[in-house]
Structures are given as structure tokens and as C-alpha cells.
Structure 1
């Protein structure tokens, strides 16, 4: 290490570790997708996503070597069976990659704000650009194939106006009718509905193919939670005569052969649970009707408890890789005294 070398901060160590874990998982999933995809347009998307994750792993591995940090175990060829029968339809593959590109954009934007060193900042800025490009290409193909699920439409406003009563913020009243949901609230209900629809189908596919009975029960619980949340969001929209988005033809086959290890599937659902909690927090902050804010907070707690139970399953099975941590000074002193 040269005299002028700037060491990574704790935040930078954390985000490159997280990025490595996520990309190593994505590389396994996308490698399997490459072996089952049939549609040539969707194949191009799958290959682009796979090549991007592979390039990220190479760059991060190089960074770990330069910094003389222990490389995370992450996920390897042992965690994927590319010869497993088709578990997903081609439209599902496209919708899945679209969703994960969206998750990636949110993650990279956060990573950029935690980066101080120039090379780390540039890496994640490039990653954000790649995720945005992948998302754009995905939506282009979705539109071309008639698979894009558009947000609900509302009449164009005829004039601007201001809120004239504090009742605008209230979501509960025994005496007055709730105000209609606004466009901002609709957009969040729409996006959360789509995310849970993907999560529901993914958790079902994992329950269908996992080997561990405890994992199977946890995955089915995740499917039920996601379906319940989809129904709640749809009911809120329908109550205000707003058309609930209809999912396109994305589905899971009847294969019971696992393309992924139980360890990978558990990590994946934990990642989506964390993303969902973040989405709900953003939605609660953007919503101005108190019943919606309370609903998002309640649903966030449900996801948090679900994710905690999942983490316990991973720990019991030795699947949870520990993030980099600081030294326990009390333990250090104790060990010194015992020498």
C-alpha cells in the first residue's frame, strides 16, 4: 500500500461487501435464466444483465485484492443448477429483471451518497447508469410485447389549487367521506402492488423447489403476505374508482427441481424484504392521508418480523455470511488479560 493510499471508510467497506453479495447472487440467477430463456428479445436483456453482474464481480474482486481484504464467500456455481428444468416463463424473466434493475437503481444511488473515495464513487455512479440503462431497455421490450403494466390513469387537472382544510390529511372520519387519493399516493400504491406481485410469485417458486421444510413454510408465508398486501393496495384504489393495475402473464411452471440452493433463495427473499421495507417507508413519507401512512407502517412491521424469522433460519443452517464489523474492544481487553 502506497503512502498516499486512502483507506476505505467503514461505509465504503459496507457497500462494496453488499454489492459483492448482491451481484454474486444475481450472477447465479441470471446464469440459470440464460439456460431457459426462449424469446430472442428477452434473451438479449438476460445476457446484458448477466454480463453486467459478471463485470461487477470482476471489478469488486480486483478492489478487494488491492485493499488486501478477505473476499466474501457470496454465491458461486454451487448455488445454481443451470440444468434444472424451466421454472419461469419468459415474461416472468423480463418482469423480474425490470424489478431488480429498479432495486439496483435505488441501492446504487444510496451507495453513491456513502462514497468518499473517488474510485468507489465512480464505480457506483457507473453502476447506477448501467442499472438505469438496463431498466430502460427492459421497459422498451415490455412495451413492445404488450407486457408493460401501466400505472392507473386519472383525469387531467383543469386548474391548480391549494389545500384549504386540515381534514385533507385525515384518513379517518365517522362524519365525513375520505378525500380521494391523490396522484402521488396512487403512484406508490401502484408500485408497491407490482413489487409484491413479483415477490409473491418468486416466493411461490422457491417454496415449490426448496429442500428444507422450514424454508418451504417460510416461503409460503412470504407468498401469503405479498398476496395480502397486493389485495390491500388494490382495494384502496378500487374504493376510489381507480383501476387497479392488472399483472401481465408472468407465471411459475410446475417444476419441483431446484435451480438454486436454499441458501441463495433465503438470501434473495431477505434482499427483497429489505427493499420492500424501504419502499414502504418512502411511500409513507409521500402519502398525505393518515390511514395510508398507518397502513404502510403496519405492513412494514409485518415484513420486518418476517425478515427476522428468515434471518434466524439462515443462522440455524449456517447460511448467513457476517458483514465486516469493528473490533470488540471489551473482548480484546479480556483476551489480553487472559494471556
Structure 2
């Protein structure tokens, strides 16, 4: 067996960098939440999530040092004001953990598929297992407390069926009635209502605590976008007499004290918008009614515009940390000729 060191692939480098950025952000958010949570069931759940993020950062740092890989700046204690007053309800903290665990499962399943070196595969597989456990535990607590929304119920199918007409795919003609939503379409409409609800409340909290006028306006724009999208999805369900999900109390306080750095808040919303675009793309591919497909296309463009504005603000203020990449070979050659 060869003792030659197996180098990291580009996908592994990207996955490790992304994981460090996300966990360092999560550590700041969760650490602040722990300062204020009172609920005896929710606090241990958030504490466990915080401990896992800290453990991840330690493991990632060890990998970086072993690979002589420059450790990302990420986020640290300078990005959170632990002395700031209460900002979120305990229910919000539980909902937040559940939502971010959901995002984490999607992210880690992707990084497992992009990893090839045994130790990196093991790390991300373990992280996926831990995140799945967090999701399951947080969901169980929410269900026990009666604060978790459930997808709409429909009748269980008694027999199989096949699509017998192209009309099944239609939905744009105002002169003809649309077929009822199917279970797959309902599930994605529900999911996008709940995820936008989390984004709306976070944008509101970030807007009222940021000292920057530019960031405030961006966050309020994000809140308005989420609100419009929720109304679109709820309206689609209601047209088929399907009750929209009851979203749990995810209120924020009226605190205006700076709690998180603008850099952290902008990064967090960037993460949520990227996840939202991914959700819409998946929903679009799974939906078979043309009006739903066009809605997801239109709404995706709006979220992409928001993401572009956010990136411009981050670049302008030197908040956007650059992912690892290859050297510009042509630039290196030109510099060599000039020297």
C-alpha cells in the first residue's frame, strides 16, 4: 500500500469551507439564544445543537491544519453581542433549530456525495447523522408541545391510477378549470410556506437591530418578498379548499439593540435565499400543473434578484469571504513576463 498522501479534491475543499462558515455562524446565533431561553425542554435541544456546532468547528480546524489549508475567517464572538436584550421567543428558537437542521440535512447529503477521501466521507456522514438526529428530536419536542404545523391531510388512495389526458398538465387557461392539486404539489407548497415564514421573521429581527440603513432596507425588502410568496402559496392551496398550515409562534421582540454583526446577518440571509432557490427549483421539477411551474419560475427570479442585491452589499462592505479557488493562470503568466 502506498503511503503517499491523498490530496483533497476541489469538491472536498468547497464542502469543508462551506461547513466551517455555516457552523461558525450557527455557533454565534445559538450561543446568543442560550443566554435567554427559559423553556426546560427547548433549552437542552438548543444546547445540544450548539455543542455539535462547536465540535464540528474543532474537527474542521484540525483537518485544515493537517492539510495546511488556510482556516476561513468565518464568524466569532465579535459578530454577536451577548449582552443584547432578548430578541426571539423560545418557540422561535426551537423552530429555528428544526429548520436549520432541515437545511443541514440537505447540505450534508450533498457533501457526502461530493466526498471521496475516506476521512472526509466519514466526517460528513457523521455530520449528516447528527443533523438528522437534531431534526428528529426538535420535531418530537414541537409535536409534544403542540407548536408544530403539519402538512394538510388528504384522503389515502384506495387504488392506483394513470394520467389519461394532457389536460392534467395544464393550468394557465382561465376559461377551463384547473385539476385539483396532487399530494406532491401540496407538500411543496406547504414546505415553502413554512420556510418563508422563518425567513420573514429573521429578516424582521435583523432589520430592527441593524445600525446600517442599507442593511435595514435590504432586510425589509426580504421580509416583503417572503410575505408575497407566502400569500401566493396560501392562495393556491385555498383555491382547492385546502387549509393553509398553522405556523407556530415565531415572534421577535421589539428590541432595536445591535445583536449580530451586519456581516453575519447578511451571510445568514444569503444562506436562506440560496436554500430557497433550491427549494423552488425542486418544487418546480416536481409540479405537473403549468401555473405552478410558472409561479416557481417567477418567484425564483425574485429571490435571485434579492440574492444579487445582498451580494452587492456584502462586496461593497468587504463582508463577502471568497471561497477557495484556482489561480488565474493567464494573470500569473502576464505578471511573470512583466517582472
* TM class by smaller structure: over 0.9
What are the superposed Cα offsets for residues 100-123 of structure 1, whole Å, 9 maximum, x if unpaired?
000000000000111011111111
Equivalent residue for 1:216?
216
The Cα shift of 1:275 comes to 0.3
The Cα shift of 1:16 comes to 0.2
Equivalences for residues 234-249 of structure 1 within 5 A: 234-249=234-249
The Cα shift of 1:3 comes to 4.8
Equivalent residue for 1:290?
290
Give the paired residue count.
338
Equivalent residue for 1:72?
72
Equivalent residue for 1:275?
275
Equivalences for residues 150-189 of structure 1 within 5 A: 150-189=150-189
CA distance, structure 1, for counterparts of residue 21 and residue 32 of structure 2 = 17
What are the superposed Cα offsets for residues 114-146 of structure 1, whole Å, 9 maximum, x if unpaired?
101111111111011011000000001001111
The Cα shift of 1:157 comes to 2.3
What are the superposed Cα offsets for residues 83-105 of structure 1, whole Å, 9 maximum, x if unpaired?
11000000000001100000000
CA distance, structure 1, for counterparts of residue 19 and residue 307 of structure 2 = 20
What are the superposed Cα offsets for residues 137-160 of structure 1, whole Å, 9 maximum, x if unpaired?
000100111101000111222322
The Cα shift of 1:294 comes to 1.0
| TM-score, with structure 1 as normaliser | 0.98
Equivalent residue for 2:129?
129
The Cα shift of 1:174 comes to 3.5
CA distance, structure 2, for counterparts of residue 180 and residue 256 of structure 1 = 45
Q: Which runs of 5+ in 2 are unaligned?
A: none
Equivalences for residues 86-97 of structure 1 within 5 A: 86-97=86-97
Q: State the secondary structure of the residue aligned to 1:40.
A: coil
**Is 1:116–2:128 an aligned residue pair?**
no
**Is 1:194–2:194 an aligned residue pair?**
yes
CA distance, structure 1, for counterparts of residue 257 and residue 152 of structure 2 = 38
| TM-score, with structure 2 as normaliser | 0.98
CA distance, structure 1, for counterparts of residue 97 and residue 174 of structure 2 = 44
CA distance, structure 2, for counterparts of residue 86 and residue 312 of structure 1 = 30
CA distance, structure 2, for counterparts of residue 323 and residue 83 of structure 1 = 32
What are the superposed Cα offsets for residues 36-82 of structure 1, whole Å, 9 maximum, x if unpaired?
11101000111010000000000000000000011000001000111
Equivalent residue for 1:332?
332
Q: State the secondary structure of the residue aligned to 2:257.
A: coil
Equivalent residue for 1:259?
259
Q: Which runs of 5+ in 1 are unaligned?
A: none
Equivalent residue for 2:6?
6
CA distance, structure 1, for counterparts of residue 120 and residue 187 of structure 2 = 33
State which drifts further: 167-176 or 138-147. 167-176
What are the superposed Cα offsets for residues 242-301 of structure 1, whole Å, 9 maximum, x if unpaired?
010011112011111122101000000000000000000000011111111111111111
Q: State the secondary structure of the residue aligned to 2:168.
A: helix
Equivalent residue for 2:105?
105
Equivalent residue for 1:37?
37
